[in-house]
Structure formats: structure tokens, C-alpha cells
């Protein structure tokens, strides 16, 4: 019977039928077109019972999805700064998470605490990470505030007569797949290329457009939840935010997360209700969700927030949203100012290491003008000189003014996104010895060793049952790290393997290591699809040995030259293209078949080749010793002459042990 016909009889789609039958004991294949008649009859006969099983399975899946959503809603990922010691009650208050959720997570980690007992930073970090929070030390908050204050102080010290209007800086934020990138692309295509030959030739993390004769800068920030911190920094350096919400999907966890970042940065925003062209789009429903969940009241509902319907895919409403941005910028004109004549201060919005150019960074100038040849400093430490300056179109420029994105070449080391740099001499330090600026060991690396790229690395995501296990694994891995290969822990957390772990591993091309925790079947399937390796252990010794073996495999071998002997050429018997047959006498050491040959004439090096054949007394041999005469088959481009001296050697492969 045809599968489509059977599906029609059972009032189910063919794809659903193929999907559910294996779980009910009838594996007909995911691409099956026909089904055995006897099997079809059995399915029809037992369909009422099978249907109930399918419905129960669907309900269970729906329940699991709802539970995941509830967890997401309970702890939308946000940055929380905590001190070295904090009570469980204060941690709950600070994170806005229920006390019972925190206590349950602590118990899961083998920590039985009362609400008044204090936990250290590491425990808070692990518990917070598992509950979807970005936990940072309070000292890092002070450092970030210090960077922000530097700009505010610079602007406050300026003569008000010298402060001029600058282009507004816009950041686009929202939930993944709601169309942030599509909106940026639509703006880029319709506006940047207007009247400009070539358009954008390379991506540097930001670009400028012109609308009604007014320049506008857009920060092209990534949308994935793994880059929440980057989006947070983007919001701090932006003047206006566009919050994108899909008309067919409504308010989602990252919509809430993005709004919190905008709210914390205290910047004005507009809402772009995207995908109005899609089937199922419901603008009123989106506005209802914005009102009820985020207290964002649309302007046409009597509120203060402008909600503009757009379709980035169809280029509908793009001009309208830009006009709204310009209107918002006018109301904020007192704050959107800078002194173009001052020494430049700016924030890094993109950073990488190029094989050809070395450390490359994109800076958004926030005050002053950056010029080619300027010395740059970060936290009063010299980080290099502007050797080359490119604009967002990849063209070389001599200077970049306020609100302009510019790519810098000439840095001593790779900077981090969010670093605030300024034009100043700074303290000069040998950057090869700098692992980071004068911060806590736990703070992020600012300038890296040049040879770090030469060390082979295995990126690992560690999930364990208790905090002690995670720490023991980390300490053991640090002990086996060498200058040749390293096991780098990208993330460590507690509890079962989750979808986020697979995404992290995919982003860094890493492996997932689970210790005394489970991997749900759905996550195993996802990992297979993404080609992510998940390895489970219950004994740390086995885990370390396996990682050690993996590290050994990636260690690059070294080669040593081993000199064997010398031969004086007495006769040339035959010369072909790419080789010769000749005779000679070993004058020192020995000659071995398949050894390498260096040709010397009057003590001058001529060329190299290979010994592919060796004869002694018309017999093929593997080697000839000193004072023996022999025949040789030479392979190479060089032409050997009588009287030449051939030096035999071989390359000995050495693999260092981890």
C-alpha cells in the first residue's frame, strides 16, 4: 500500500506517519513510499491504540517544551555582578530568581545551605550559569564603570562651544530569528550604496548610511544568545536602539533580555514589528504581549513607544523606521554631541587576529578624531600605533571623526570587544610578556602572547554532577597542558547536557565532556546533526587519559637531520629528465636507500634530490659502507657531474610525548 494512501485513511500526514511509526514498533523507513499490505492492515487494526500513544508522546514533548520555556522565563540571561561572598538570600534578591530554584541548584551540587548562609563567588558563578545568568565579579563592574566614566569625564571637561552634533549610533536588538540581520541588510542595500560606487566591500562590525542628508551609524552586532555581553556593550555605546519583534512569533526570551539591556543603558528605543508579510502575522497580538510582558505601551495605544510595522524581506517600511530614528535623534540632540578636535576616545566593537595583518580591531569613535600615526592606550598602557586606518567600505582613510567606525591596524595584541581606548602615549610594556592588563586572574585577557596561536588546542565544554568534580577535572587538565598542546575549557557547568552546551561546542569547534551526568536523547540527536562529540565518564582518571591521548594526536612532530655519509661521483652512466644513474665510492660513513642527497661541487651546494636505488656488485642493496664502490639511482632536478661529492642524510621524525 502507498504510504500516502495509508496516511489519508488514518487522517494523519505522511511525514507524521513516518516519524511516529518507528516508536510504535513499525519501522518502515524515513523515506518510504510504499508499505507492506500486512503491516498496513495491522496498523489500521490497532490504530485507535496507536493514536493514543502518539497523542501521549506529543503531550509529553509539549510539556518538556513548556518546562524549558518556564526555565527561560524564570532566568532570562542577564549580567549580575556579585561580591566574593554573598548570602543565598541576597543572591536571590540580586538575581531576581526564586529562592527555591537557587537552593535546589545548590542541593544538586551537593551544597546544603540555609538562606542566610554565604556562598563564595565560584559557587555563585556555577549556580548562576546553570540557571542562565552571566555572573561576574563586582570588581569587573567597577572596571566597566571606570571605562564609561572616562568618556563622560572627557565630554564634561569639553568647552560646550566646541561640542558639535554628531551622527546618532544605532544598535538593532531582539530575539534570534526575528530578522535583525535582515533589517540591517535591508538598510545597507537600500541606503549605503545610494550614490556611492562599490558599496561595502568588507564587514567591520559597523557602517554608516545617509538619510535626508543626515549620517546614521549602525552597529552590526550578532544576534545569538552567546553574544549577550557584546550586545550589552553595544547598547552602552549606542544612542538609540531598535527592538525587533517578529509579527508571527511575538515576545520571546531574548526580546525580554534585549529590552533589559536597553533599559539598563537608559537609551531611547523604537520597536520594529518585522515579518508583517508572513502568514500568521498578528501586529495587535505583538503589541498586547509588549504591553503585558514588558510594559511597553505603543504610541497608538496611548503610550510613548513607537511601534513600526516592517518587512525586512520585502523592504517594506524601511524608510519609515529610519525617519523615526532620525526623529528620535532630534529629541536627544543635546546628548548626541562630540568635540571633533579633541584626542580620540572610542570603544572596540570588533576584534580579531589576521594572519597577514596581525591584530585588527574596529573602533567606534565616541569623541575626538582618530588619525593615522596616533599612539593608542588602554588603561594607561600603550597598545600600539595606528599604522593603517580603513573605513566601513575597506578604503584607507587618514582620520575618523565622532560616531565613525574605523578599522585599526598596528596594535600590539588582540583587544576585547567593549574595551575603551584613547589617543595617548601610555606606559610602554613589552607586550610579549603581557598576558593581560593589571587585573584579577579571572578577568578577561586583553593582550595575548604572540605564540599562543602556535599551540594546538582542544576546546572543551565540561558538565559535571557537582562543583568539586568540575574543579578537579579543570585542575587535572591544567597539569597535562604543555607548550605544544592544551586542553582549553571554554565552559564548565553543572547538570545534564543541554541544547546550549551543543551550541557552545559548535561555536568553538569543541567537544562536550560529561562527568556523572546524563545526555537526553533529543540532545544526542542534536549533537549528531551538528557533528559534536559528547563523551561520558564516571572516573576522572579515564577522562584525563582520553584527553591526553587526544592532545598527543594533535602535537606537531619535529624533524631532525641525521647525516649518514659522503660519496665521490666517479662515473655518469645515464641522464634522464628528473633523474640519473651514476657510480661512485663511499668516502665517509654510509649510503642508505631512500635517503636524501645534497650535491656539492668544489665545496659549493648545487641542488638536492633522493637516492631511489642502490646497487653493489650488480645486486640491489639497502646500504653501502665506507670504501665501497656502488651504483646509484638519483631522483631530482639537479644535474650531477663526475667529481661531485654527494652528502647523504635522512629526516628523523620526533613526536614529543605529552
Task: Give the mean pLDDT per block of 10 residues along the chain (658 residues).
Answer: 80 76 72 78 80 77 62 57 84 86 81 78 80 73 56 70 90 83 83 40 71 88 41 62 93 82 84 93 94 92 93 92 94 90 87 73 91 89 89 90 91 76 75 36 33 72 73 77 83 82 87 90 90 89 86 80 94 91 94 94 91 91 93 90 94 74
List the beta strands (DSSP E) in 391-546. 399-400, 405-411, 420-423, 456-464, 485-494, 511-515, 534-537
Q: Report the candidate in 159, 145, 174, 195 with the shortest Cα–Cα distance to residue 244.
A: 174
Give the number of residues written for the chain.
658
Q: Count CB atoms within 10 A of the CB of residue 529.
A: 10
- Output the nine-digit C-alpha cell for 499: 541544547
pLDDT at site 301: 92
List residues bridging with 400 in a β-sheet: 370
Question: Measured between alpha carbons, how far is 244 from 232 in angstroms, rounded to an integer?
Answer: 16
Name the grid cell of 29: 523507513
Terminal-to-terminal C-alpha distance of the chain: 61
Beta bridge partners of 557: none
Q: Would you state the cell numbers that stand for residue 9, as one nine-digit string?
A: 485513511
| Cβ atoms within 10 Å of 557's Cβ, excluding its own | 9
Per the listing, cell 660513513 goes with 589
Could you give the CA distance from residue 251 to residue 282 in angstroms, rounded to a whole number? Answer: 12
Please state, in angstroms and as integers, the Cα–Cα distance from residue 638 to each residue in 87, 545, 634, following that order.
Answer: 78, 49, 10
Q: Using alpha carbons, list the distances in angstroms from residue 208 to 136, 173, 192, 199, 391.
A: 33, 17, 7, 11, 10
Q: How far apart are CA 317 and CA 311, in angstroms?
A: 7
Predicted pLDDT at 289: 93
CA–CA distance, 306 with 272 (Å, rounded to integer): 8
**Beta pairing, strands 85-87 & 118-120:** antiparallel
pLDDT of the residue at 560: 83
Question: In the prediction, which pLDDT does 353 show?
Answer: 67
For the record, the C-alpha cell of 485 comes out as 598542546
Q: What Rg do the C-alpha atoms of the chain give, in angstroms?
A: 33
Q: Which domains does the chain have, with CATH numbers?
A: 3-74 (no CATH), 79-139 (no CATH), 158-337 (3.40.50.300), 339-434 (2.40.30.10), 453-554 (3.40.50.10050), 558-654 (2.40.30.10)
The dihedral region occupied by 132, where left means phi > 0, alpha psi between -120 and 50, and beta the remainder, is: left
pLDDT reported for residue 201: 35
What are the grid coordinates assigned to 22, written together?
A: 518507528
Residues 6+ apart with CB under 8 A from 127: 91, 102, 105, 106, 109, 119, 494
Reduce the secondary structure of 241-268 to three states and give it as a string: EEEEEECCCCCCHHHHHHHHHHHHHCCC
Residue at grid coordinates 500500500: 1
CA distance linking residue 222 with residue 297, whole number of Å: 27
Burial letters for 118-137: b for 16+ Cβ neighbours within 10 Å, e otherwise?
Answer: bbebebbbbbbbbbbbebbb
The structure's pTM equals 0.49
Chain centroid to Cα 360, Å, comes to: 16
Distance CA 652, CA 84 (A): 53
Question: Residue 39: how many CA atoms within 13 Å on its side-chain side?
Answer: 14
Amino acid at each position: 500500500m502507498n504510504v500516502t494512501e495509508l496516511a489519508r485513511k488514518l487522517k494523519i500526514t505522511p511525514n507524521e506517519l513516518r516519524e511516529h511509526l518507528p516508536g510504535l514498533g513499525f519501522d518502515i523507513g524515513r523515506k518510504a513510499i510504499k508499505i507492506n499490505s500486512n503491516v498496513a492492515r495491522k496498523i489500521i487494526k490497532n490504530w485507535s491504540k496507536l493514536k493514543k500513544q502518539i497523542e501521549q508522546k506529543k503531550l509529553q514533548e509539549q510539556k518538556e517544551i513548556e518546562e524549558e520555556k518556564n526555565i527561560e522565563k524564570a532566568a532570562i540571561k542577564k549580567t549580575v555582578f556579585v561580591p566574593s561572598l554573598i548570602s543565598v538570600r541576597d543572591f536571590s534578591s540580586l538575581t531576581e530568581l526564586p529562592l527555591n530554584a537557587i537552593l535546589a541548584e545548590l542541593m544538586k551540587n551537593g551544597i546544603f545551605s540555609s538562606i542566610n548562609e554565604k556562598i563564595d563567588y565560584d559557587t555563585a558563578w556555577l549556580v548562576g550559569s546553570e540557571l542562565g545568568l552571566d555572573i561576574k565579579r563586582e570588581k569587573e563592574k567597577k572596571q566597566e564603570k571606570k571605562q564609561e566614566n572616562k568618556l563622560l569625564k572627557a565630554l564634561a571637561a569639553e568647552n560646550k562651544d566646541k561640542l558639535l552634533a554628531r551622527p546618532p549610533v544605532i544598535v538593532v536588538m531582539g530575539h534570534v530569528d526575528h530578522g535583525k540581520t535582515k533589517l540591517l541588510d535591508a538598510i545597507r542595500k537600500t541606503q549605503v550604496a545610494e550614490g556611492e560606487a562599490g558599496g561595502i566591500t568588507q564587514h567591520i562590525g559597523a557602517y554608516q548610511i545617509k538619510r535626508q542628508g543626515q549620517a546614521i551609524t549602525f552597529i552590526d552586532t550578532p544576534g545569538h544568545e552567546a553574544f549577550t555581553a557584546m550586545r550589552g556593550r553595544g547598547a552602552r555605546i549606542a544612542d538609540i536602539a531598535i527592538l525587533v519583534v517578529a509579527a508571527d512569533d511575538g515576545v520571546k526570551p531574548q526580546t525580554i533580555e534585549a529590552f533589559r539591556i536597553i533599559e539598563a543603558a537608559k537609551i531611547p528605543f523604537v520597536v520594529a514589528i518585522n515579518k508583517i508579510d508572513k502568514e500568521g502575522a498578528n501586529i495587535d497580538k505583538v503589541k498586547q504581549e509588549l504591553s503585558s510582558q514588558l510594559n511597553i505601551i505603543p504610541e497608538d495605544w496611548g503610550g510613548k513607544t513607537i511601534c513600526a510595522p516592517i518587512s525586512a524581506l520585502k523592504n517594506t517600511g524601511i524608510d519609515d523606521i529610519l525617519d523615526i530614528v532620525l526623529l528620535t535623534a532630534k529629541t536627544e540632540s543635546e546628548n548626541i554631541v562630540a568635540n571633533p578636535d579633541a584626542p580620540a576616545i572610542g570603544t572596540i566593537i570588533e576584534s580579531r587576529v589576521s594572519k597577514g595583518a596581525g591584530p585588527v580591531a574596529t573602533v567606534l569613535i565616541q569623541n575626538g578624531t582618530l588619525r593615522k600615526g596616533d599612539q593608542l592606550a588602554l588603561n594607561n598602557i600603550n597598545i600600539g600605533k595606528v599604522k593603517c586606518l580603513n573605513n566601513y567600505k575597506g578604503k584607507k582613510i587618514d582620520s575618523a571623526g565622532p560616531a565613525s567606525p574605523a578599522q585599526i591596524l598596528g596594535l600590539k595584541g588582540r583587544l576585547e570587544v567593549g574595551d575603551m581606548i584613547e589617543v595617548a602615549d601610555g606606559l610602554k610594556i613589552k607586550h610579549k610578556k603581557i598576558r593581560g592588563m593589571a587585573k584579577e586572574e579571572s578577568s578577561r585577557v586583553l593582550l595575548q602572547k604572540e605564540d599562543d596561536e602556535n599551540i594546538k588546542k582542544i576546546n572543551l565544554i565540561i558538565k559535571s554532577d557537582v562543583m568539586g568534580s568540575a574543579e578537579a577535572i579543570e585542575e587535572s587538565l591544567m597539569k597535562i597542558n604543555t607548550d605544544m598542546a592544551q586542553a582549553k575549557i571554554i565552559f564548565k557547568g553543572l547538570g545534564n547536557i543541554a541544547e546550549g552546551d551543543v551550541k557552545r561546542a559548535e561555536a568553538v569547534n569543541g567537544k562536550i565532556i560529561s562527568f556523572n551526568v546524563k545526555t537526553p536523547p533529543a540532545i544526542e540527536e542534536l549533537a549528531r546533526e551538528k557533528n559534536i562529540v559528547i563523551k561520558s565518564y564516571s572516573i576522572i582518571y579515564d577522562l584525563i587519559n582520553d584527553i591526553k591521548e587526544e592532545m598527543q594526536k594533535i602535537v606537531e612532530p619535529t624533524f631532525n637531520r641525521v647525516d649518514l655519509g659522503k660519496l665521490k661521483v666517479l662515473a655518469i652512466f645515464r641522464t634522464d629528465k628528473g633523474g640519473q644513474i651514476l657510480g661512485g665510492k663511499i668516502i665517509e660513513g654510509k649510503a642508505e636507500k631512500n635517503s636524501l642527497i645534497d650535491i656539492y661541487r668544489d665545496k659549493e651546494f648545487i641542488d638536492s634530490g633522493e637516492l631511489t636505488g642502490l646497487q653493489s656488485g650488480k645486486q640491489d642493496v639497502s646500504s653501502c659502507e665506507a670504501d665501497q664502490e656502488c651504483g646509484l639511482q638519483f631522483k631530482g632536478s639537479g644535474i650531477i657531474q663526475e667529481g661531485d661529492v654527494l652528502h647523504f642524510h635522512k629526516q628523523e621524525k620526533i613526536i614529543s610525548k605529552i
